[in-house]
Amino acid sequence: MAESAPTYSRPLGLTEASYFLPSREDGANDLGLHLGFTAPLAITVQSRVQLVWALLRLRHPLLAARVDMHDYDDIRFVYTCPASPQDAVRETANALQYRPACSKDEFVDNFVLGPRILSNERLSFLYISRPGDVTAPLQTPTPCEEKEGYDFEHAQHELMICTTHYLADGIAIHQLTNDFSTLLGGQLNESELMSLVAREWEAQYKKTAQNTALPASLEDRLPATPRSKFQEAALRVDYENTQRKQIGGQVFPRQRGKPRRTTCRVVALDESRTIHILKACKDHKVSLPCVLFALCNIAWIRTSSSKGELPALFYSAMSLRTNFVAEKAIHDSYLSVAIGYFNITLPSFMLRSLQPSSTFWYRARQTKSQISAAIKSPMLIARSQNMALERADRAKAFAKEDDAKAAGIWSPPATPRVEKKEPAPFKAPSAALLGISCLGSLDSIYKHNQFGAIKLNWVTSGLRQRAGGMMLFSYTFLDKLWLNMTFDENGYEKASFDAFWANVLSGMDEFIGV
């Protein structure tokens, strides 16, 4: 009797659950990394791509896992090891598609606006577009056979690696794409790649301890410090006090009643302009993210008719990987969602007595101080844990309500009986203007000299946002500064957003222009 393939599982962590529950309906926050590259058609044939994809799915088993939800508090990753190395390759056919050549916008729009390609049963997917290809079911590959008559003509390709956000964050997806490019463009032939697949499969198949087969959640990777009940209460008070300080009252004018339509506006500044901007940041002793927050702040002030009574609040994320417990990080896949959150609050007015450039650089220094306070705080781990708990609880509450409405059994909660008591203290608004995600230098992740005949040309991101979402991504890639504004164009008044975006771009010329 043949031995059955081992199956491993673990519960989703709090951060993972907070992303999973809202994604169930239409894939909110699904990530797509869109890469353009030039390569010989010979190395992007189906059999070779499937070998590389199979190898990565074995190294990072959550890519090939599923999610089983038994209850709002019992949601699990489940991974069944392929029965053989050949099965590992064959299984990629359900998570890979070759598409005909199309424009960059069409490629991204298909992911962010089309039917959802991911699901609880399929947590990752790979698209490849090459000249002459058509969308069709993949044929059964014969990966160990070396092919004759390979086409070594160089051609433009497009690739999109898609994952759910509860599986990975942006940095992890970029690292995965780097590894994909290294394997695809490397010196190994298909027989040698198949040997790597077999070796990785054997390592996965022999694992017996549940905690080594699947990468641990963010919460399990962070330091576990024993705390008394008093310490827990004190840390909770610190978190709540920190949240109360997050004041924001600036928002874009909204329009409602239209379906979500996520769109991206991408700007790439040339190398000389990027060098000038980075030098200006260094001269003023601030980083590029500080400049972008200040730039959006000034752009909003020039766009809005607000009198400036309430500040502008921007939300962002930070990597928590440097805080991982070392012995847990060594054996785990890097593919995980490992982010914490922080806000930047800046005034929504400018003093007429100061030159705009002086205000701009002062706001950049204010941002630097706030980022430093968030990242270097001794309370960072405790605050991140409390934030994860709050986000997970909120996601569960909304999920229960959504499921009840879908089942036709929801009824609004009864109005509680109010007893006379002291009026509650005034709670300041905490509305965010937009999110800003600064990924830093992607050239430190992509090892271009290891890609062989593959030449990367550009990289952008696609995000299946919720209705009304707005996020500005920034990074340097190929020595260029890239700005990628992803937003729901049906969720906001067009004139207001267009004016804001124009002010962002003109502000770059005004404050840090060449």
CB distance 319 to 216 below 8 Å:
no
* Residue 4: pLDDT over 90: no
Indicate the Cα dihedral angle 441, 444, 446, 451, nearest 10°: 140
Q: How confident is the model at residue 257 (pLDDT cuts 50, 70, 90)?
A: confident
Ranges 160-164, 221-225, 452-456: which has the least confidence: 221-225
Judged by DSSP in three states, 474 sits in: strand
* Residue 31: pLDDT over 50: yes
Which of these, 114, 96, 115, lies nearest to 106 by C-alpha position?
114
Judged by DSSP in three states, 229 sits in: helix
- For 358, residues 6+ apart whose C-beta sits below 8 A from its C-beta are none
| 248-249 and 480-488 strand pairing | unpaired
Across residues 267-296, what is the average pLDDT? 96
Q: pLDDT by residue (tens digit) across 71-114? A: 999 999 999 999 999 999 999 999 999 988 777 788 888 899 99
Gap between the Cα atoms of 190 and 231, Å rounded: 57
Across residues 487-493, what is the average pLDDT? 94
Ranges 38-47, 176-185, 249-258, 426-435: which has the least confidence: 426-435
Gap between the Cα atoms of 369 and 94, Å rounded: 48
Gap between the Cα atoms of 365 and 65, Å rounded: 44
Which of these, 256, 260, 257, 265, lies nearest to 497 by C-alpha position?
265
- For 288, residues 6+ apart whose C-beta sits below 8 A from its C-beta are 277, 278, 281, 438, 440, 474, 476, 481
Q: pLDDT by residue (tens digit) across 331-355? A: 568 999 999 999 999 999 999 899 9
Which of these, 374, 216, 200, lies nearest to 293 by C-alpha position?
374
| pLDDT > 70 fraction of the chain, expressed in percent and rounded | 90
* Residue 251: pLDDT over 60: yes
Gap between the Cα atoms of 24 and 72, Å rounded: 12
Name the average pLDDT for the chain. 90
List Cα–Cα distances, 64 to 27, 93, 100, in angstroms: 17, 12, 25
Q: pLDDT by residue (tens digit) across 106-154? A: 888 889 999 999 999 999 999 999 886 655 445 544 444 444 444 568 8
All structural domains of the chain, each given as residue ranges with its CATH number in brackets, are: 7-210 (3.30.559.10), 227-404+428-444+467-512 (3.30.559.30)
